[in-house]
Amino acid sequence: MITNSTYREVLKWASSFLETSGKEGFAAERLLMERQNWNRTDFVLHLNEEMPSDVKRQLLADVAEHGGGRPIQHILGYEWFYGIKFKVTHNTLIPRPETEEIVDRFLQQTEIEKSLKVLDIGTGTGAIAVTIKKERPQYEVTATDLSAKALTVAKENAEINKVAIRFMEGDLTQPVRSEKFDVILSNPPYIGEHEKNVMDQSVLDYEPPMALFAENNGLLIYQRLAKELPQMLSPNGQIYLEIGYQQGQSVKELFEQAFPSSVVRIEKDLSGHDRMLYVQT
């Protein structure tokens, strides 16, 4: 690469390098824009300018790390979720767009005027709980997680975003089993061990297995929740659970048995895949 290179030239090389490494070439643009705190307009305006040496060094270092398998979110130390920046570590799952869709549906289907008691099970980074509390400050939000290290990250994200959330350490509903909630949400572990061979290696290398995998072909946590949640859901309550795209019918049957007189349905994500279980009592 020549010494005096424009942003366009360096990015062309970086994108090619990433594609050769089996990564998406546009990741180079994202890394640059995040490091420079640029929006798309800033990016376009700088394309034909010479890239400063310090910017180039940072970009090439980031691209080399990503090409070697490290996720962008771990290189930057954060991920965006619902327009909010969340700290990410190897002790938490990286927040994903599919979960944003679930939060969005929850916000569309609940009334702003009411004060609801909300539970987020397996909060991880706190993405669901923090987003809900920011969007609905009047809601009383509780978040649980089995991992003390994940809760440390979630608490930091809550503090950064200046929201008050009750965090409880424990296995699924254990810390709050005697309470009742108007809304219960969760993005639980739902991947079966048999699916490891089709997963991205970076997920296996950098994200916590306890937040990814569940026994019984990925259904164990749903089986447990189907037993525990009926006693915890208030009258006229709602449940939103993220599911694997092949688990819709199995999870639906579990919750139809647990909530025989309630509305139980599977909803699809924007890609048309089964993605969420919804229960309305």
9-68: per-residue pLDDT in tens? 999 999 999 999 999 999 999 999 999 999 999 999 999 999 999 999 999 999 999 999
Average pLDDT over the chain, rounded to whole? 95
CATH class of 81-280: alpha beta
Query: Predicted confidence band at 1 (pLDDT cuts at 50, 70, 90)?
Result: low
Q: How many angstroms separate the CA atoms of 140 and 146, rounded?
A: 21
pLDDT at residue 198 above 90?
no
Beta-bridged to residue 54, according to DSSP, are none
Mean pLDDT of the region 168-189: 97
Mean pLDDT of the region 77-84: 98
Q: How many angstroms separate the CA atoms of 72 and 183, rounded?
A: 33
Domain boundaries, the chain: 7-68, 81-280
Mean pLDDT of the region 84-91: 97
217-235: per-residue pLDDT in tens? 999 999 999 999 999 999 9
Query: Predicted confidence band at 2 (pLDDT cuts at 50, 70, 90)?
Result: low
Beta-bridged to residue 227, according to DSSP, are none
Whole-prediction pTM: 0.94
Both tokens assigned to 212: 């990814």
Mean pLDDT of the region 111-135: 95
Query: Predicted confidence band at 75 (pLDDT cuts at 50, 70, 90)?
Result: very high
Q: How many angstroms separate the CA atoms of 145 and 175, rounded?
A: 9
Quick one: pLDDT at residue 3?
64
Contacts of 80 (CB under 8 A, 6+ apart): 86
Both tokens assigned to 265: 């349905």
Q: Where are the beta strands (DSSP E) in 62-116?
A: 78-81, 84-87
Q: Where are the alpha helices (DSSP H) in the chain?
A: 7-20, 27-36, 40-46, 53-67, 72-76, 97-109, 127-135, 148-160, 201-206, 215-218, 220-228, 248-258
Quick one: pLDDT at residue 59?
98
Measure CA 172 to chain center.
17
H-helix or E-strand spanning residue 72: helix 72-76
Mean pLDDT of the region 225-252: 96
- For 84, phi and psi rounded to 5 degrees? -115, 140
Query: Predicted confidence band at 113 (pLDDT cuts at 50, 70, 90)?
Result: confident
